[in-house]
Chain A
Amino acid sequence: MRYAIPLIIFLVIAAFLASRLRGGYDPHRIPSALINKPAPEFQLQELRNPTQTFSPKQMRGKIWLLNVWGSWCVACREEHPFLIALSKSGVIPLYGLNWKDKREDALAVLEEMGDPYVLSVSDFDGRVAIDYGITGAPETYLIDQNGTIRYKEVGQLTPEIMEQKILPMVKGLNK
């Protein structure tokens, strides 16, 4: 008993530390303050047609994904093939927020790797990104028919996240 108590305390601390180190805990996953809040409004020029603008208002009545990306973002390139597959599957419309990028660089990436987005908008000065509480790219928002943010994925979208988290929510929203 005399030696058991320190041992138990040690094991509890070790288990806690191990769970934080190995359990896929990522300190950059900050819980979003915007879940179940209205998606911030903006009006930005379209990447492909700069004379046109796009605003989330136009998406009322639809469930859609807003994916933050940039040509300078390596993880976005890794995510890109899955986004292409997702857009081909047609399960949910995917829109892009091109964050602090040069127009020609962004267009070059879409030229090279394909364009998964219905359209992308250009957030040159990053102000819209701040409105959305973005800390890094890629990040993806699920926005519902009423313009409410339902889910935020920090980091790359994967088939698992799509299957296990996003699609079940979309199903629920469609009811």
Chain B
Amino acid sequence: MKRIGLLLIIFCSLPCLALAKEAKPLSNDPELEKRVMALSEQLRCLVCQNETLAASQADLAQDLRGLIREQMKAGKSDKEIIAFLTDRYGKFILYNPPVDPTTYLLWFGPFVLLLGGLAFLFRYLKQRRELITEQPLSTDERRRAETLLKTAQEKETA
């Protein structure tokens, strides 16, 4: 089972491996590397779209990390670098989708569904309660109940 899992992981990463070449030398500054990786975690790899830029070994991802590194060396802030990238690749490159009209469905859709479900549930429960409200006995039923009670009492006193 473990082996199958491992194989699955290998196969799933094949398309990205095929696009990857050898890694570029990193800079010697560990603080800078940390910042590069932290920012890359928030960005999407445009080749392997379900990966972050930090996790991807695709060629383009390495180029983009190189570019982020260079811009950080040049003293740019994270915000400026994100603006630089969204100007070129659009909001799609953001791994955390921003709240804007195109993502309203994504952000609020689940809550709308939840509210809809609750409304449906309450309506259903109310309907059911109405179904089980007590109904007064008919005169026929009342007479039968009285005779039953009477015979029971007579048996007890006897």
Write the residues of chain A forming the contact surface with B, with a CB cutoff of 8 angstroms: 27-28, 30-34, 100, 125-127, 129-133, 135-136
Point out the residues of chain A lying under 8 angstroms from B63, CB to CB: 100, 125-127, 129-130
Output the least CB separation between A48 and chain B (Å).
25
Interface residues on B, range: 10 to 19
Q: Is the CB of B90 within 8 A of A130?
A: no
Output the least CB separation between A148 and chain B (Å).
15
Total inter-chain residue pairs, C-beta < 8 Å: 39
Q: Mark B54-65, 1 if CB is under 8 A from A, else 0.
A: 000001100110
In the complex, which of the residues B60, B67, B86 contacts A135, with contact meaning CB atoms closer than 8 Å? B60
- Counting chain B CB atoms within 10 Å of each CB, which of A33, A127, A131, A136 scores highest? A33
Known contacts: A30-B46, A100-B59, A135-B47. The answer to whether A130 contacts B67 by CB under 8 A is: yes
Known contacts: A100-B59, A135-B60. The answer to whether A30 contacts B67 by CB under 8 A is: no
Point out the residues of chain B lying under 8 angstroms from A126, CB to CB: 59-60, 63
Q: Is the CB of B46 within 8 A of A33?
A: no
Point out the residues of chain A lying under 8 angstroms from B64, CB to CB: 130
* Cβ of B49 under 8 Å from chain A: yes
Q: Is the CB of A131 within 8 A of B60?
A: no
Q: Is the CB of A30 within 8 A of B88?
A: no
Q: Is the CB of B60 within 8 A of A32?
A: no
Q: In the assembly, what is the distance between CA of A33 and CA of B59, in Å?
A: 21
Q: Is the CB of A33 within 8 A of B47?
A: no
Write the residues of chain B forming the contact surface with A, with a CB cutoff of 8 angstroms: 46-47, 49, 59-60, 63-64, 67, 86-90, 92
Q: Is the CB of B90 within 8 A of A33?
A: yes
Determine the main DSSP class of A at the interface with B.
Answer: loop
Q: Is the CB of A30 within 8 A of B90?
A: yes
Output the least CB separation between B50 and chain A (Å).
10
**Residue ID in chain B nearest A28 by CB atoms:** B49
Please name 18 further chain A to chain B contacts, defined as beta carbons within 8 Å, in addition to the given A100-B63, A130-B88, A131-B88, sorted by A numbering. Answer: A27-B49, A28-B49, A30-B46, A30-B90, A31-B90, A32-B90, A33-B89, A125-B63, A126-B63, A127-B67, A129-B63, A130-B64, A132-B88, A133-B89, A135-B46, A135-B89, A136-B47, A136-B60
Q: Is the CB of B88 within 8 A of A34?
A: yes
Point out the residues of chain B lying under 8 angstroms from A135, CB to CB: 46-47, 60, 89
